[in-house]
Amino acid sequence: MNIELINVQKCYGDKCVLEIEALNLDKQQIYGVVGENGAGKSTLLKLIAGLEAPSSGTIAYDGESMSSAVIKRITYVSQTPYLLKRSVFENVAYPLKIRNMSPERCNEKVKNMLAMLQIESLAKRNAQMLSAGETQKVALARALVFEPDVLLLDEPTANIDQDTIELIESVLRNRHGMMTLHISHNRDQVERLCDTVIKLSGGRLVQAAMKGT
Amino acid sequence: MTYFSDSFKEAISLLTTFDQEVYGIILLSLFVSFSSTVIATVMGIPLGLTLGLRSFRGKGIVTRILYTMMSLPPVVVGLAVAIILSRRGALGSFRLLYTPAAMIIAQTVLVTPIVTGIVFNAAKAHGEGIKRVCRTLGGNAVDVIWLLIAELRVNLLIAVVTGFGRAVSEVGAVMIVGGNIKYHTRVMTTYIAMNNGMGNYAKALAMGLVLLGISFLVNTLLYQFGMEVRDEH
Ligand SMILES: Nc1ncnc2c1ncn2[C@@H]1O[C@H](COP(=O)(O)OP(=O)(O)OP(=O)(O)O)[C@@H](O)[C@H]1O
Ligand SMILES: [Mg+2]
């Protein structure tokens, strides 16, 4: 899915925290979203996810406006993910269940997903008792399991150890055909992982360029 | 002190030789309070969830009114309901005053704000997060409602149990709209108040123990449920 932002503004009262004249996001690319604290990175992702409506302007998804069909293909993993009060396995199964997937297929997919992120050992644990890093991994598994077209990640590796970061990066790189917007404060990571860097400052786009151009 | 322990002994013997009247009173109490709690739950849960999740003009004042209503004095509620149900009142033609139906109505007025308020607080604190998660995972409006109920289940149960506890233990409202009529509208609390007034402390105490027992039972169920949720998996 390609996404196009045109004259998008997000304001709270008089204060506009995000103003983007034009931004085209191409399917299949991995975007690194960078900028200082309060630059508007999370706001940008929430707007694209349809969690918040822009104060003005339009966001087009393959030329169409946000709809219930579109929202099913986009997912957003927040800076502080909320896991459901059930087991890790059930958390990852949830998006498949609401898509009415058969229990057998659902089980298989969840198992594969947990294996891919090397968190099989957590499957039966109560999701609300996990550490911060474990929580982020489960939230990522839950977002990837239904194969969204657009994956919005808000600092997904902030609490994660180096080995697991490499694992997650390779998982993301191997997902072809999925657009990923990845907020990160880690320059090296952006350099390693992303095709294009979107730099925000004070709510404005200061750069959106393919790496090396 | 011997006086109190004598009463206590008498209470125990009364409890073990329950007569029909006492059973009838306990059953009516449970029926009235259970009915009002069910009605209050059916209204309070959707109302609390909606108020907690929506932002609208005047939410602040609505919140304050709701909190005030959570601690409505039962006598005042009884009085208001009695006026409405009395012959010349707005609903006088239904002839409901001094019937169990009137008691259910009064307790419903008392309990609905309690259920609504507790659900409202839970929805305000956690509802938005739950709604967002459901949305970002592709859920529709119906999925959101089911997920809210599943995630807030402990809070909802606390709301219902608190409401029932309030209903079954209040005396002011049922006394005024029910009238404590023998075999008709006499419930545990009005029985206790009446026997206390007549100096039958043992009888009053015996019924008080039953009331405490019910309260203990209900809270045990709640506690068990809370533990289950915490320990599961
Ligand atoms: N609901 C809100 N009401 C008012 N201001 C808000 C609201 N949400 C966000 N803001 C403001 O918008 C600005 C951008 O916030 P945003 O969360 O997008 O920043 P960010 O780039 O993600 O920062 P960080 O790196 O700290 O996560 C901030 O100044 C924030 O205070
Ligand atoms: Mg942020």
The architecture of the domain spanning A3-210 is 3-Layer(aba) Sandwich (3.40)
Q: CA B40, CA B108: separation in Å to the nearest integer?
A: 6
Cα angle B40, B46, B51; round to 5: 110
Min mean pLDDT across A24-28, A162-166, B12-16 is at B12-16
Among protein residues, the one whose CA lies closest to atom 18 of ligand 1: A40
- What confidence tier does B22 reach under pLDDT thresholds 50, 70, 90? confident
Domain membership of residue B120 (yes or no) is yes
* For B148, nearest residue in chain A (alpha carbons): A84
Pocket-testing residue among A41, A44, A198, A206, ligand 1, by greatest number of atoms within 8 A of Cβ: A41
pLDDT at A202 over 90: yes
- What confidence tier does B233 reach under pLDDT thresholds 50, 70, 90? very low
- What confidence tier does B92 reach under pLDDT thresholds 50, 70, 90? confident
Mean pLDDT of A97-126: 96
Q: Which of B128, B134, B135, B137 to mutate to test the interface with A (most CBs of A within 10 A)?
A: B137
Cβ-nearest to B139 among A51, A77, A98: A98
pLDDT averaged over every residue in chain A:
93
Domain range for B26: 2-126+153-231
* Ramachandran bin of A78, using left for φ above 0, alpha for ψ from -120 to 50, beta for the remaining angles: beta
Residue ranges of chain A whose CB lies within 8 Å of a chain B CB: 49-51, 68, 71-78, 81-82, 84-87, 94-95, 98-99, 124-126, 142-143, 146
A194-208 b/e with 16+ CB inside 10 Å = b? bebbbbbeebebeeb
Enter the pTM of the model. 0.85
For residue B34, count CB atoms less than 10 angstroms from its CB and return exposed for 0-12, middle for 13-18, buried for 19 or more. Answer: middle
Size of interface A-B (CB pairs under 8 A): 54
Whether A51 sits inside 8 A of B132 (CB atoms) is yes
Q: With a 6 A CB cut-off, is A43 part of the ligand 1 pocket?
A: yes
Among protein residues, the one whose CA lies closest to atom 30 of ligand 1: A38
Per cent of chain A over pLDDT 70 is 99
In the reported structure, the alpha carbon of residue B127 is separated from the centroid of ligand 2 by a whole-number distance in angstroms of: 20
Question: In this predicted complex, what is the ipTM?
Answer: 0.90
- What confidence tier does A28 reach under pLDDT thresholds 50, 70, 90? confident
Cβ-nearest to A84 among B136, B140, B151: B151
* Ramachandran bin of A62, using left for φ above 0, alpha for ψ from -120 to 50, beta for the remaining angles: left
Residue range B34-48, pLDDT digits in tens: 999 999 999 999 999
Domain membership of residue B143 (yes or no) is no
Find residue A63's DSSP bridge partners.
none
Mean pLDDT of A36-59: 96
pLDDT at B232 over 50: no
In the reported structure, the alpha carbon of residue A33 is separated from the centroid of ligand 2 by a whole-number distance in angstroms of: 10
Number of structural domains (chain B) is 1
Q: Is the dihedral angle over the CA atoms A168, A174, A180, A185 positive or is it negative?
A: positive
SS3 A65: coil
pLDDT at A154 over 50: yes
What separation in angstroms does the CA of B6 have from each of A162, B197, B200, B206?
A: 73, 18, 12, 12
In the reported structure, the alpha carbon of residue A197 is separated from the centroid of ligand 1 by a whole-number distance in angstroms of: 20
Integer-rounded Cα radius of gyration of chain B: 21
SS3 B155: helix
Q: CA B107, CA B94: separation in Å to the nearest integer?
A: 18
Q: CA A49, CA A149: separation in Å to the nearest integer?
A: 12
Pocket-testing residue among A17, A34, A46, A48, ligand 1, by greatest number of atoms within 8 A of Cβ: A17
Domain membership of residue B147 (yes or no) is no
Q: With a 6 A CB cut-off, is A35 part of the ligand 1 pocket?
A: yes
Mean pLDDT of A176-184: 92
Whether B138 sits inside 8 A of A146 (CB atoms) is yes
Domain membership of residue B145 (yes or no) is no
Domain of B213: which CATH number?
Answer: 1.10.3720.10
Among protein residues, the one whose CA lies closest to atom 11 of ligand 1: A17
Whether B232 sits inside 8 A of A49 (CB atoms) is no
Q: What distance in Å separates residue A126's CA from the closest CA in chain B?
A: 6
